[in-house]
Structure 1
Amino acid sequence: MNEEPLMESVTSAVLGVTDFGPHIDLFCGELGFEVANEGVVREADAARLWGDGVGDVETRLLTAAGARTGRIHLLKVADPVAPAEHPHTLDLGLAGLNLYTRDIEASHDRLVAVGHPWTTAPSTYEVPLGDTVVSVTEGFCFGPDGVDVVFVQPASARGTEAWSADPLRPYTELTSVVCHVPDFEAELRFWGPEGLGLSARYDVTFSSPGLEAMAELPEGTVLRLAFVTGAGGGTTRIEMIHVADNVRGVDRRPAQRPARDLGHTGWSVRTRDVEAAVARAEETGGRVSCRPFDAVTPLHGAARLAVVDTPNGISVELWQPS
């Protein structure tokens, strides 16, 4: 096994949209992202990536202060399979997009005023960290097309590329992409040292009344949470959760397919060796839906692309710059 990891971090979250305008208004107008590129993924390439029948797919690439991870891929969905719905924390599949804010109360007031409601006002709760506990203040905001944006004001923020580039920015790039998986161990193995080379640097089981209030969870909910990240840089972590006793809501995974469905539908991951990444994904329980091929797209430039599903059915696009 090579010592150098196959990947550093999640490059981008993939969002299906009916109209670019509301997302540009939120992410660029309010949260400080920029449209770094735009264009069309042509039908032949789109069919290989996302299946027959999607046609040409219009796209926008959003970045925050040029950060190389924590980006957003917007895919315009011409004929959504299902109406947009906001996932709940108990629902299986992809959930929120997390980013840091310097002032969560100001974020709440401003976004509610411009038409983006929150499930509740920001809430502070404690989570264990080794032999101590740390306080986190968060709030769920409803974005367009069923996108959940989770704003986090941590007691001690870890470094991010956007805040390093521009310390006065109110917001960062995406700091986490969240999924609720039924088979936690299989997902950890897929992403971990045996698979794509990341590791769980924080893996804890806990309950918290503050979290229950913020996320609208039943009283006494016990949650397992792991942050899966790489050693070589990149801001965006995979935030993997599992609720004890298999308490579950709706299984959102069948309606979370890129270019076919709305909302948070997948992840894009840059790798140094796409063939090796695909092989490792298969060895650790992934399913390949698109073998590596060469293409030029507005989202990747010239690259070698592939698509795999994790053991829990999350769509992951792997790409290696040419």
Structure 2
Amino acid sequence: MSEHGPDPLVEGITAAIIGARDLGPHLDFFGERLGYEVAAQGVVPAAVADALWGTGQADLDVVALAAAGADTGRVHLVKVPEPLAPAAQPHNLDDGLIGIDMYAKDIQTAHARFAEAGIDWSTPPATYGVAVGEHEVMVTQGVCPAPDGTAVVFVQPAAVRGTAAWEADPGRLYTELTSVVCHVPDADAEVAFWGPDGLGMSVWYDVTFSSPGFDTVAGLPPGTRMRLAFLAGEKTARIEVTSAEGEHRVDRRPGQRPGRSLGHSGWTVRTRDLGAALETVRRTGGQVAGAPVRTDDPLHGRATAASATTPNGISVTLYEPR
């Protein structure tokens, strides 16, 4: 119990789940280019994978990737034998999971190194402003396509906010995942689900803004008004909940399921109390997909895990170490 009330049930997004046809290209991208290390690898047994994700009677090959040994902000690679749909990079107006973000020490150098390797960024580095209260926060970022439709957003921050990788190794070029992004039709419900009265993350800011620079970076129609709620726990990754006024584009949520979909397909979240977390999921408008299952695998360790969806249908695997 903290001096401000009950301890949060979650500390942040432990990992983004990335579905892969072949693990090799992802290991090249995140490992060779971005400096992530293999923290664990092996299989999620068929019984566990099926109980959590409905994947059937096959073990799933998986790799947990970490930056400088950070136990959060990880990338969980899952080899998908039979994808629900072809790989496709989401647009910022599509409903569902969008990009995964990390800090870059020098974004212009990062962009140049990728160009030298023949990898074009879908959005070159650009700077834009976001109005937060009476202040304008300047953001410099670029978007790089990763394998299987994954969008990696590199951010060079004006002010660095807690990153375990840079605390452990200040000389690194890239951090762990600093945030994950979802675009949803009901932002109020998503913020309530993750926020102080839900799973316990803090709302750092919640703004609605329009910015020509952001329209360009995000590929939006000019004058788009976007709501951005930024939720944070004690550890990375944080959550960016976005919702644009007007018509949304493709609804990607039905095709974004861990172990069954390619690219950014879900989030892994460690909790101190799985039973209380699942009660909170139900209370705040989410759904629990099935009974908890005991496991000992490379992604969760020795744990009890359960699958859930947020009020907007985002797939979340909650687990409590044991």
- Whether TM-score is above 0.5 comes out as yes
Report the alpha carbon displacement of residue 201 of structure 1 after superposing the two structures with TM. 1.2
SS at match of 1:226: strand
Q: Deviations over 1:37-57 (max 9, x none)?
A: 100111111110111526210
> Are 2:47 and 1:49 aligned?
no
SS at match of 2:12: coil
Q: Deviations over 1:118-155 (max 9, x none)?
A: 12321100112332112111111111000000000111
Report the alpha carbon displacement of residue 293 of structure 1 after superposing the two structures with TM. 2.2
Report the alpha carbon displacement of residue 60 of structure 1 after superposing the two structures with TM. 0.2
Give the counterpart of 1:204 among 204, 207, 213: 207
Q: Deviations over 1:54-92 (max 9, x none)?
A: 621000000001112100110000111111000010110
Please say which of residues 270-279 and 187-196 is displaced more in the overlay: 187-196
Runs of 4+ aligned residues of structure 1 deviating over 3 Å after TM superposition are none
Runs (5+) with no aligned partner, structure 2: none
Counterpart residue identity of residue 253, structure 1: R
1:280 aligns to what?
280
Alignment: residue pair count: 319
> Are 2:232 and 1:238 aligned?
no
Alignment of 1:165-314 (within 5 A): 165-230=168-233, 233-245=234-246, 247-314=247-314
Residues 190/5 of structure 1: CA separation in 2 closer, same or farther (3 Å cut): same
Q: Deviations over 1:197-240 (max 9, x none)?
A: 1121111111111111111111001100011112xx20210000
Counterpart residue identity of residue 259, structure 1: G
SS at match of 1:62: strand
Does the 8 Å contact 1:116/1:143 carry over to 2?
no
Report the alpha carbon displacement of residue 292 of structure 1 after superposing the two structures with TM. 1.7
1:321 aligns to what?
321
Alignment of 1:65-214 (within 5 A): 65-214=68-217
Question: Taking every aligned residue pair, what percent have the same amino acid on both sides?
Answer: 55
Does the 8 Å contact 1:266/1:314 carry over to 2?
yes
Please say which of residues 77-86 and 51-60 is displaced more in the overlay: 51-60
Report the alpha carbon displacement of residue 192 of structure 1 after superposing the two structures with TM. 1.5
CA-based RMSD: 1.2
Cα distance in 1 for residues equivalent to 2:237 and 2:54: 27
Report the alpha carbon displacement of residue 248 of structure 1 after superposing the two structures with TM. 1.0
Cα distance in 1 for residues equivalent to 2:118 and 2:22: 16
SS at match of 1:118: coil
Cα distance in 2 for residues equivalent to 1:189 and 1:283: 10
1:38 aligns to what?
41
Report the alpha carbon displacement of residue 280 of structure 1 after superposing the two structures with TM. 0.7
Q: Deviations over 1:250-298 (max 9, x none)?
A: 1111110110110000000000000110011001111111222211111
Cα distance in 1 for residues equivalent to 2:251 and 2:116: 32
Runs (5+) with no aligned partner, structure 1: none
SS at match of 2:27: helix
Report the alpha carbon displacement of residue 117 of structure 1 after superposing the two structures with TM. 2.1
Instruction: Give the TM-score taking structure 1 as reference length.
Output: 0.96
Cα distance in 2 for residues equivalent to 1:321 and 1:4: 17
Cα distance in 2 for residues equivalent to 1:144 and 1:109: 19
Cα distance in 2 for residues equivalent to 1:23 and 1:272: 30
Cα distance in 2 for residues equivalent to 1:142 and 1:319: 29
